[in-house]
């Protein structure tokens, strides 16, 4: 029984959601000297269509469109890549591991991973002469592993704002930038 001013907990019901995305994309790989965040970020956009199966688990499809750009002055090279991808992700709401389900919770922390396919055309250009050294003539297709996490801030019963970071790791180290010299495969966030 509940006290007179207490309400029973709201039971969980699965639901669909749509999440438009906009943010910055960043290439990491052989043509990013330190394989670290640099000033060559590009604008990216996309969207998510998901279904929350339970308070703990969800599934979602994600689409991303962006350009990737990086300069490597010590090698006199730059990378330009036109890219779009799609992924199917499983989500895990971290809050539900540590706390009882609460439909009115303001902040939800989540992790995601899955599988995706990226489609891109890249050019490698010599910086000093602006001469194209290598280029994909057709769209390239590459499988990737998406991993990431985010925070969802509940604004009302139907709207939330999400801040999210995702990394897309290629299985072929030379596919995107024509180089296979690093210990790590190319990836982008």
Per residue in 91-101, pLDDT (tens digit) is 999 998 888 88
With residue 77 as reference, give the H or E element that holds it. strand 77-93
- Taking the chain (189 residues) in consecutive chunks of 10 residues, what is each chunk's mean pLDDT? 61 90 88 70 93 95 94 88 96 90 87 96 92 92 95 91 93 76 73
Per residue in 152-182, pLDDT (tens digit) is 999 988 899 999 999 999 887 677 887 776 5
What is the pLDDT, as a whole number, of residue 186?
A: 82
Token pair 């992700």 in the structure block, residue: 89
Angle at 147 between CA 173 and CA 118, to 5 degrees: 50
Sequence-ordered alpha helix ranges (H) in the chain: 95-98
Query: 141: how many CB neighbours lie within 10 A of its CB?
Result: 11
What is the pLDDT, as a whole number, of residue 82?
A: 95
What is the pLDDT, as a whole number, of residue 166?
A: 95
**DSSP letter string, 36-64:** S--S--EEEEEEEEEEE-SSSEEEEEEEE
What is the pLDDT, as a whole number, of residue 8?
A: 67
| Euclidean distance between CA atoms 78 and 93, whole angstroms | 39
Please enumerate in sequence order all residues whose Cβ is within 8 A of that of 30, keeping only pairs 6 or more positions apart, or say none: 72, 173, 177, 179, 180, 181, 182, 186
User: What torsion, rounded to 10 degrees, do the Cα atoms 25, 31, 36, 40 define?
Assistant: -40
- Find out whether 91 and 50 touch, Cβ atoms under 8 Å: yes
The helix/strand/coil state of 95 is: helix
Q: Choose among 37, 34, 84: nearest CA to 64.
A: 84
Burial of 107 (C-beta count, 10 Å sphere; 0-12/13-18/19+) = exposed
């Amino acid at each position: 029984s509940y006290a007179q001013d207490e309400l029973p907990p709201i039971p969980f019901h699965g639901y669909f959601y749509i999440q438009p995305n906009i943010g910055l994309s960043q290439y990491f790989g052989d043509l990013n000297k330190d394989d670290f965040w640099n000033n060559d970020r590009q604008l990216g956009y996309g969207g998510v269509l998901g279904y929350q199966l339970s308070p703990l688990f969800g599934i979602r499809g994600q689409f991303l469109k962006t350009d990737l750009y990086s300069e490597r002055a010590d090698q006199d090279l730059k990378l330009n890549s036109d890219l779009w991808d799609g992924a199917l992700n499983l989500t895990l709401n971290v809050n539900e591991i540590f706390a009882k389900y609460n439909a009115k919770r303001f902040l939800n922390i989540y992790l995601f991973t899955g599988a995706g396919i990226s489609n891109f055309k890249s050019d490698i250009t010599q910086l000093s002469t602006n001469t194209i050294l290598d280029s994909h003539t057709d769209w390239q297709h590459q499988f990737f592993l998406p991993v990431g996490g985010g925070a969802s801030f509940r604004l009302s019963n139907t709207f939330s704002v999400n801040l999210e970071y995702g990394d897309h790791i290629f299985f072929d180290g030379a596919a995107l930038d024509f180089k296979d010299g690093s210990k790590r495969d190319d990836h982008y966030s």
